[in-house]
């Protein structure tokens, strides 16, 4: 048996390649799907099944692409509007060499959600792995808010029953393989550790230490961001995303060509780390660090026009394109050859963000300087604790709420580290705000410095800044 | 948390790299140990602990090499004669970022055997992984015959108690990470599937479905091959194997140079697949396929002299050297540049093995041809079933028992596939036997053809030919 | 300036990537053309020009594929029937960053043949490289027989004038970059050394040490093989070969599936080395070693049906597919999973070729054994020298001339090494001949053994067996 | 024949691997020498000769390391004090398969300088390549100032005679392979193009368009920087640099550990691009961009103590270590895990450099702001042109001349691009200067903006900023 978890960083999306005796299955393939074909080739296997646990809303499915490449058959749960693939029902069996996969209906995250049970037929047919999709994560359960608040209680009950009546009865010893790891927007408290079993979750998953009624109450109260690009993802995943072939290869543009594109209204994204963006940048560019492209671009960038990229090193081009393609950005007007340096060598105008450390921020606040302090973290992070006198607007909502910010005094922005604050700072600069600070280190540095915060009541301590985990994508070609 | 199982194919040796928050530990490193340093570098971690579950007898430890490379501290169980490292005792704790490792005394395979428990301190300190060394495998338990038959009952009782009193109480949900996978000489029935948990083993491991008394009886009756090179491995692992730096780089030899080395008594090993060796080969060479080098060379090749290699493709050189270095062969007189083809282009003499299919074998036997049929499989394979009228000598013992074979009539050799039979055929050719056949396909083909076999009583059906799994090493550079 | 020669082994085809200041050009791209796009991406350059020196007949052009990938403009010499691209004329200029390329009409190999001159504009515009296509090679000149014998004298005069009036006047110091290296079917005596200049060729190229009249006589007398697949290549290159996207990924077939395909008439090619094919093989398969696929398959394999592959190691699959795709074989019914070993494990019938060394051959001949000795080398190799009493049929013509061979006695086949003899042996076995020997080592071993040969008059000593250089393709993924 | 030029970026050092028929030679290996052994292994060749053209002063030789790895014999020109290797004399022959290398005494750059001529014995023994060391480059000749001004005229005459009497007579068609490419400190005007021949140099190399007397005058007037670390390199190359085995692997340090090392006086180098260093950095660190480490570190960093590294991405660690090891820095106290971000997340103090564009610089100067403008380019760059009212101190001399700078007003620093100005800015910040600007874009942006410069008389236009070519090393692992 060959088994591999293939992770898409930035999205914290986990897909799985399984093969036995020359037959292979893939669970929840990502859009840039040649990786699975390469595994199949490497192990001398043919991909027979492409199994989807549910229709994704945070990223594009690679099922259709992989089926085109390999001839494998796609299966997913019943839904009336699928544009491709076959319907699998609870109990359907998929023999795979010396293994067997069976479908298990586990509604809750969505109504059609399936899990897949993997059993070893050579040693008695016992289940030993469960591919639980967005139903059960390591340390958390799937979100149930995607159909709106009215349906949340019903879905919460449904996911509870799926977990207690379908998954946990498989036995404590079954290994858990969910569709996401820490950092995903699909779960609030997914553990940093990927390895788990149903037994460990039964005993230690905080969401499972409740009664059914408590669980439903807890889940329906959970407030998670719901980006508008989710509907774009869902629509494309319903019909099957456009087939890409190879990854797009954006052309290298000279500074003059790049400027010309910007002047025609094409949006530019600078994927440098926040500290480099602060040092100097192409005016008008969004700042979204490389590892954040998949999770944040959908809030800001249009789907109907091509994009421009600024990279700190051309080596990152492929990773940037890959991150964007996974959420449906397929068209690129080009990238700035030579990066920011070529821009200033050409004597084109530059902008910067002045440095404001947490120590300087504290001093300014104590001296009563007229500073607007903006917190751009998620709602559930804000709920836990914040810097006194700060205002809160989630970074994803910022462009629609710029009117709430003063234009006549400096704005200092923080998040957990300075990454999302960097996005926010670039939004304000684009909108013509004057002095804008990205507080590098943000709440983490503030807390590490021992400065006072305001804590609110929360049930469980939040985790580390999961949304911000990769500064660079580590899956470079 | 970063977790990776690093496998040494051929030996089916599993080692583990674990890191959390910049701190890393390695469990049972293999001798060519730069692989762990590379992982540490890739993940920005420092290797603090190098943990040995027991003193290996089937391959050389990389602990000392890795400690030299990284400064990590070596720990292993108590034994009076260690030439390096520190002693870990039951209950010793090793904090590792957000994780914690604790030592668990699990004697039985050897008296000093330790297991290591991995717990997640960020989510409550629960154990979630167990590194069980040679105590518990997926589908089997460790062998208890290494101290000789007199001590086997005591060790069998000891390993039973370690499993039942130390390992299983950790909980069904704990993930099992043993030191070997299928194909190892350290266990007879290790499952082909690597993924398991204590719960799955408790329920499905055939060795654990017995009472304590039954288990002791079963284990002491288990007959496993005990190669003489085990003592060489053990002695080197006691003192710490010589440090290698980079892998040795054997020189490329012309046919004339190669022949000259052979004439001076240096032994040559041809790592081509059996079918190529059969077609034509350098006379006097041993035939050991690439994936079998680590498991079989120790039976035949001397440790006090350099080796010569024949490769089918120079691309395999590194894998061949790696396989041999892992069992202590560090000196190479060279390899034949251009392989077998350069030999025959030079017009040097060649030998071959004529083709004998199972169909032809059966026909010859039915026609009463004067053929000596030799079975070279392991004792426990022979016990299960064999071709009628065949004689049995294990391939590892063959050189010492050549006197039992006739020199005046053809010898046809079989194993499960033709790989070990290929080794045996080369031994006979070296010893001057006349017509020697390697029955390609061997028992597998015989059975697949529906020809009759003699079945003996055995408790459990044996597995597929585990010893022969990799024709080529797949870990090419 | 970035410069790289990209070689397609097996075909000995040389293509070139050149870039300066973000602009790139590719000369004579091969069909699997993503390699050039990768170079462009790596160096931050856009491919502007795709320049063809002539319409190839020995392999498929990647110009159209590369233009589709990158948007670069294709140029080639005037011919009325091009299905794509633009016409470049003598003197046309292609500015490329700090460099400049100019087209130079150099007819002779074909009427539309162009060379491209590369000049450095930053240091004065001097030419420093010449891309000479099939006009001038290192050590030889292009063949002039492709339009048939009637036009050969005209083309020979034409290529002479192109070399003397167009190329050599560029200056001795200009670096020569031809379209082929040693081993190509497009030149008989191309040197093993790739590095040369116009000065070196003027002084040392044997074809250029003649008067114009002598040259024309010499070239028109040159007999080169003209495979029938050349017309297939030429037709496809005229219209633009089908676009491939990624390389085809043949499915892995079980022995039963593979046999079923063969029974339906699908042809199988075994790419193992001759010695392995001799040991045992799937009956009915062609034997063409991996490195020979591009140069020899076109003689034997049909273009209108898919192919089956037997590989010694699945690692070679990609290289095999690549080699076949380059000469237009795009459809694969699959490959035998597990190779020859899986076939005999399944107890399916095998065949072999018995070993016949040159020593045994000589002995048999001296003892007057009734043996038919067949030489399958090229006409110009045969002309130079051969083993006494051997008959000559070029391997490419063998299938059409099987009637000339006896079926009632053993046939022993030789070439230079045993590779082409291996192809020939497989052809005879497919045709039902009885005892067939591939004389491993062939003429090389015969000569190295000091056995007598018959030498004929030839002008220049032939080179080493260029056609047989790569046993395996060394460009593995 | 196998031929490869292996480039060490940053140093623009060119070394060469040549092999024929299993025998290989390496010309001027770099210190991290396993790359040559890998080539030898890949091509099935043994390295027989390790040939040095001269004793390097800008980087460490890998000859001794490579000889230790491979057993190859080292040769270099006569000098009384070599601590290793053999002496080669003019005319010494080194047969290499079908090739032959001969030594050619070409004194001038140093007295013992040798060139090596490569001839093809298979096609008549003609020379076709010349390895000219530091005697003749593409576009320039070697420097002759290393023995001091008194000996410069003698050496200039000597190198002229070596070129005219030894190299050029080999013939215009001979391909030139020098020891350095563009960007090396060993030549002022080396061309960006690597490909050349003796014919091209004879006609177009500006240094060769002079009479002997003119040439001597021109060379002795040439002023090149002479870093003090050259003597360290030379001494180590005389005795043989320490053997490294694998590259050193610096430990990952937490911000607290890193700070503690700095407090004990260990120097830190930040290898981020200038724009990131400007945004925020660890106070007290030198700023040397990754691609500049090999060329600039020797001016500033001590050889008797370990170093600390700050990297923008841990992926660059290996390249940074490689760059430093090549100039003799073998000891590393560690690198800052997580880079600058981890520093500010820990709330440790940060510093920044405010942005000053050339437009703002011009405005400030026109408004008469009290600004000290510092030019840190090389002497010969300064000679050509500069910004009005700027003061000149070469960056390498800056630490010794800080007393010439005002501490009571802002200092704005420029070079050609902002890279060397970044080094200079970090030196001033370390020395406690107040407001320091790195003028990003520097003279290039100033010129591109059309702002006035002062031009001085120079013989030939200088080239693009060669010293600054790689922002990142592109040879990542």
The 10s digit of each residue's pLDDT in B256-282 is 999 999 999 999 999 999 999 999 999
Q: Please work out, in degrees rounded to the nearest 5, the angle formed at the alpha carbon of residue B99 by the alpha carbons of B98 and B102.
A: 150
Compare CB distances from D198 to C129, C139, C173 and report the shortest one's residue. Answer: C173
**Which residues of chain C lie closer than 8 angstroms to A314, CB-CB?**
41-42, 44
Per the CB < 8 A criterion, the answer to whether A258 and A334 are in contact is yes
Do the chains contact at B171 and A174, CB–CB below 8 Å? no
Compare CB distances from B357 to C273, C349, C418 and report the shortest one's residue. Answer: C349
Per the CB < 8 A criterion, the answer to whether C220 and C213 are in contact is no
Which residues is B269 bridged to in the sheet? Answer: B286, B309
Q: How far is C16 from chain A (nearest CA, A)?
A: 20
- pLDDT tens digit sequence for B54-89: 999 999 999 999 999 999 999 999 998 999 999 999
Compare CB distances from C347 to B339, B344, B358 and report the shortest one's residue. Answer: B358
**Which residues of chain A lie closer than 8 angstroms to C338, CB-CB?**
44
Do the chains contact at B246 and D249, CB–CB below 8 Å? no
Q: How far is C62 from chain B (nearest CA, A)?
A: 29
Mutate to test the interface with D, among A254, A274, A355, A387 (most CBs of D within 10 A): A355
Q: Which residue of C has its CA nearest to B358?
A: C347
Compare CB distances from B349 to C278, C359, C472 and report the shortest one's residue. Answer: C359
Q: Which residue of B has its CA nearest to D244?
A: B245
Percent of all residues in chain A with a pLDDT value above 90, rounded to a whole number: 85
**Which residues of chain D lie closer than 8 angstroms to A272, CB-CB?**
275-276
**Mean pLDDT computed over C125-136:** 96
DSSP 8-state class, residue C400: G
Asked if the model's pLDDT at residue D416 lies above 60, the reply is yes
**Closest by Cα among A355, A411, A426, A471 to D279:** A355
Do the chains contact at A203 and B120, CB–CB below 8 Å? no
D359 touches chain A (CB under 8 A): yes
Compare CB distances from C347 to B340, B341, B445 and report the shortest one's residue. Answer: B445
**Mean pLDDT computed over B321-326:** 96
**Which residues of chain B lie closer than 8 angstroms to C472, CB-CB?**
313, 315
- Identify the chains in contact with B, defined as 3+ C-beta pairs within 8 A: A, C, D
Q: How confident is the model at residue B466 (pLDDT cuts 50, 70, 90)?
A: very low
**Which residues of chain D lie closer than 8 angstroms to B40, CB-CB?**
249
pLDDT at res. C44: 87
C360 touches chain B (CB under 8 A): no
At D334 the three-state DSSP class reads: strand
Rounded CA gap, C159 and D189, in Å? 40
**Which residues of chain B lie closer than 8 angstroms to A197, CB-CB?**
128, 172-175, 197, 199
At A226 the three-state DSSP class reads: coil
Q: What is the mean pLDDT of chain A?
A: 93
Rounded CA gap, D231 and D241, in Å? 13
Q: How far is A278 from chain C (nearest CA, A)?
A: 25
**Mean pLDDT computed over D206-232:** 92
Compare CB distances from B192 to A122, A194, A204 and report the shortest one's residue. Answer: A122
Q: Which residue of B has its CA nearest to C439?
A: B344
- pLDDT tens digit sequence for A93-147: 999 999 999 999 999 999 999 999 999 998 788 999 999 999 999 999 999 999 9
- pLDDT tens digit sequence for A70-86: 999 999 999 989 999 99
Asked if the model's pLDDT at residue C469 lies above 70, the reply is no
Q: Which residue of B has its CA nearest to C344?
A: B441
pLDDT at res. C471: 54
Rounded CA gap, B378 and D182, in Å? 65
Who has greater pLDDT, A275 or B458? A275
**Mean pLDDT computed over D312-334:** 94
Between positions 77 and 116 of C, the ones with CB within 8 A of B are none
B174 touches chain A (CB under 8 A): yes
**Which residues of chain B lie closer than 8 angstroms to C357, CB-CB?**
344, 347, 349-350
pTM: 0.90
- pLDDT tens digit sequence for D120-132: 998 788 999 999 9
- pLDDT tens digit sequence for D239-298: 999 998 778 889 999 999 999 999 999 999 999 999 999 999 999 999 999 999 999 999
Mutate to test the interface with A, among B197, B208, B473 (most CBs of A within 10 A): B197
What number is the ipTM of this complex? 0.92
* CA atoms within 13 Å, Cβ hemisphere of B298: 24
Asked if the model's pLDDT at residue B469 lies above 80, the reply is no
Rounded CA gap, A231 and B31, in Å? 53
**Those residues with Cβ within 8 angstroms of residue A368's Cβ, 6 or more apart along the chain or in another chain:** none
- Contacts of the segment C1-6: beta carbons below 8 A, 24+ positions apart: C1/C97, C1/C98, C1/C99, C1/C120, C1/D192, C1/D193, C1/D194, C1/D195, C2/C39, C2/C43, C2/C45, C3/C129, C3/D194, C3/D195, C4/C39, C5/C177, C5/C194, C6/C30, C6/C35, C6/C36, C6/C39
Q: What is the 3-state secondary structure (H, E, C) of B43-82?
A: CCCEEEEEECCCCCCCCCECHHHHHHHHCCEEEECCCCCC
pLDDT at res. C473: 42
**Mean pLDDT computed over A185-213:** 92
Asked if the model's pLDDT at residue B474 lies above 90, the reply is no
**Which residues of chain D lie closer than 8 angstroms to C98, CB-CB?**
192
pLDDT at res. D186: 83
Q: How far is C60 from chain D (nearest CA, A)?
A: 26
Q: Which residue of D has its CA nearest to B311?
A: D44
**Mean pLDDT computed over D208-216:** 96
**Closest by Cα among C389, C343, C401, C346 to C364:** C389
Do the chains contact at A44 and C251, CB–CB below 8 Å? no
Q: Could you give phi then psi for residue B475, rounded to 5 degrees?
A: -90, 55
A171 touches chain B (CB under 8 A): yes
Distance, CA of B418 to chain centre:
18
pLDDT at res. C186: 83
Residues of A labelled catalytic: 415
Do the chains contact at A3 and B191, CB–CB below 8 Å? no
pLDDT at res. B41: 86
Compare CB distances from C254 to A22, A249, A318 and report the shortest one's residue. Answer: A22
Compare CB distances from C345 to B341, B441, B474 and report the shortest one's residue. Answer: B441
Least confidently predicted of B458-462, D45-49, D276-280, D283-287: B458-462
Catalytic residue, chosen from D59, D177, D186, D415, is D415
- pLDDT tens digit sequence for D132-184: 999 999 999 999 999 999 999 999 999 999 999 999 999 999 999 999 999 88
Percent of all residues in chain D with a pLDDT value above 90, rounded to a whole number: 85
**Which residues of chain C lie closer than 8 angstroms to D173, CB-CB?**
172-173, 196-203
Q: How confident is the model at residue C185 (pLDDT cuts 50, 70, 90)?
A: confident
Dihedral angle sign, alpha carbons of residues A275, A276, A281, A285: negative
**Which residues of chain C lie closer than 8 angstroms to B312, CB-CB?**
273, 276, 312
**Mean pLDDT computed over C289-307:** 95
- pLDDT tens digit sequence for C337-388: 999 999 999 999 999 999 999 999 999 999 999 999 999 999 989 988 999 9
- pLDDT tens digit sequence for B341-375: 999 999 999 999 999 999 999 999 999 999 999 99
The sheet with strand C391-392 has its strands ordered as C391-392, C372-375, C411-414, C436-438
Q: What is the mean pLDDT of chain D?
A: 93
- pLDDT tens digit sequence for B83-117: 999 999 999 999 999 999 999 999 999 999 999 99
Rounded CA gap, C265 and B475, in Å? 36
- Exposure of C235 by Cβ count < 10 A (0-12 exposed, 13-18 middle, 19+ buried)? middle
pLDDT at res. D473: 43
A244 touches chain C (CB under 8 A): no
The continuous run of DSSP H or E covering C245 comes out as: none
Compare CB distances from D252 to B22, B69, B318 and report the shortest one's residue. Answer: B22
Residues of B labelled catalytic: 415
Rounded CA gap, B193 and C432, in Å? 45
pLDDT at res. A228: 85
- Identify the chains in contact with D, defined as 3+ C-beta pairs within 8 A: A, B, C
Rounded CA gap, D28 and C57, in Å? 42
Rounded CA gap, D321 and D329, in Å? 8
D344 touches chain A (CB under 8 A): yes
**Which residues of chain D lie closer than 8 angstroms to A476, CB-CB?**
315
Cα–Cα distances in Å, from D271 out to D58, D311, D340, D354, D431? Answer: 20, 5, 11, 19, 19
pLDDT at res. A117: 98
pLDDT at res. A357: 97
Q: What is the 3-state secondary structure (H, E, C) of chain B?
A: CEEEEEEECCCCEEEEEEEECCEEEEECCECCCHHHHHHHHHCCCEEEEEECCCCCCCCCECHHHHHHHHCCEEEECCCCCCCCCEECCCCCEEEECCEEEEEEECCCCCCCCEEEEEEECCCCCEEEEEEEECCECCCCECCCCCCCCCCHHHHHHHHHHHHHHHHHHHCCCCEEEECECCCCCCCCCCCCCCCCEHHHHHHHCHHHCCCHHHHHHHHHHCCCCCCCHHHHHHHHHHHCCCCCCCCCCCCEECHHHHHHHHHCCCEEEECCCHHHHHHCECCCCEECCHHHHHHHHHHHCCCCCCEEEECCCHHHHHHHHHHHHCCCCCCEEEEECCHHHHHHHCCCCCECCCCCCHHHHHHHHHCCCCCEEEECCCHHHHHHEECCCCEECCHHHHHHHHHHCCCCCCEEEECCCCHHHHHHHHHHHHCCCCCEEECCCHHHHHHHCCCCCEECCCCCCCCCCHHHCCCCCCCCC
Q: How far is D272 from chain C (nearest CA, A)?
A: 20
B173 touches chain A (CB under 8 A): yes
B41 touches chain D (CB under 8 A): yes
Q: Please work out, in degrees rounded to the nearest 5, the angle formed at the alpha carbon of residue D68 by the alpha carbons of D63 and D74.
A: 40
């Amino acid at each position: 048996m060959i088994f591999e978890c293939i992770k898409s960083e930035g999205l914290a999306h986990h897909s799985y390649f399984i093969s036995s005796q020359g037959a292979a299955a893939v669970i929840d393939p990502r859009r840039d799907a040649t990786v699975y074909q390469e595994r199949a080739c490497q192990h001398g296997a043919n991909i027979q099944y492409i199994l989807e646990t549910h229709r994704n809303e945070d990223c594009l499915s690679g099922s259709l692409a992989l089926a085109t490449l390999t001839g494998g058959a796609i299966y997913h749960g019943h839904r009336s509007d699928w544009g491709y693939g076959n319907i699998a029902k609870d109990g359907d069996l998929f023999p795979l060499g010396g293994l067997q996969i069976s479908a298990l209906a586990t509604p809750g995250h969505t109504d059609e959600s399936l899990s897949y049970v993997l059993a070893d037929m050579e040693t008695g047919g016992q289940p030993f792995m469960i591919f639980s999709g967005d139903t059960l994560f390591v340390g958390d359960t799937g979100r149930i808010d995607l159909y709106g608040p009215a349906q949340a209680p019903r879905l919460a009950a449904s996911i509870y029953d799926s977990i207690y009546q379908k998954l946990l009865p498989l036995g404590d010893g079954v290994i858990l393989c969910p569709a996401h790891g820490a950092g995903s927007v699909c779960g609030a408290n997914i553990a940093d550790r990927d390895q788990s079993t149903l037994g460990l979750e039964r005993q230690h998953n905080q969401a499972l230490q409740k009664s059914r009624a408590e669980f439903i109450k807890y889940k329906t109260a959970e407030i998670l961001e719901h980006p508008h690009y989710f509907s774009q993802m869902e629509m494309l995943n319903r019909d099957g995303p456009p087939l890409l072939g190879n990854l797009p290869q954006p052309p290298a543009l000279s500074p003059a060509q790049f400027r010309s594109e910007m002047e025609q209204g094409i949006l530019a994204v600078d994927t440098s780390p926040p500290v480099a963006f602060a040092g100097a940048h192409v005016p008008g560019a969004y700042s979204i660090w490389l590892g954040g492209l998949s999770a944040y671009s959908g809030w800001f960038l249009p789907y109907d026009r091509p994009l421009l990229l600024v990279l700190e090193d051309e080596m990152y081009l492929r990773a940037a394109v890959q991150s964007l393609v996974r959420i449906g950005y397929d068209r690129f007007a080009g990238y700035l050859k030579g990066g920011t340096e070529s821009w200033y060598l050409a004597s084109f105008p530059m902008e910067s963000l002045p440095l404001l450390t947490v120590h300087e921020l504290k001093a300014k606040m104590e001296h009563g300087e007229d500073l607007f302090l903006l917190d751009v973290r998620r709602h559930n992070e804000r709920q836990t604790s914040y810097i006194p006198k700060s205002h809160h607007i989630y970074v994803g909502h910022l462009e629609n709420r710029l009117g709430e910010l003063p234009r006549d005094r400096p704005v200092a922005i923080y998040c957990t580290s300075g990454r999302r604050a960097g996005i926010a700072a670039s939004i304000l600069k684009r909108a013509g705000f004057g002095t804008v600070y990205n507080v590098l280190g943000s709440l983490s540095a503030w807390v590490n410095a021992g400065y006072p915060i305001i804590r609110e009541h929360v049930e469980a301590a939040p985790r580390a800044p999961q949304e911000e985990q990769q500064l660079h994508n580590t899956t470079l070609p």
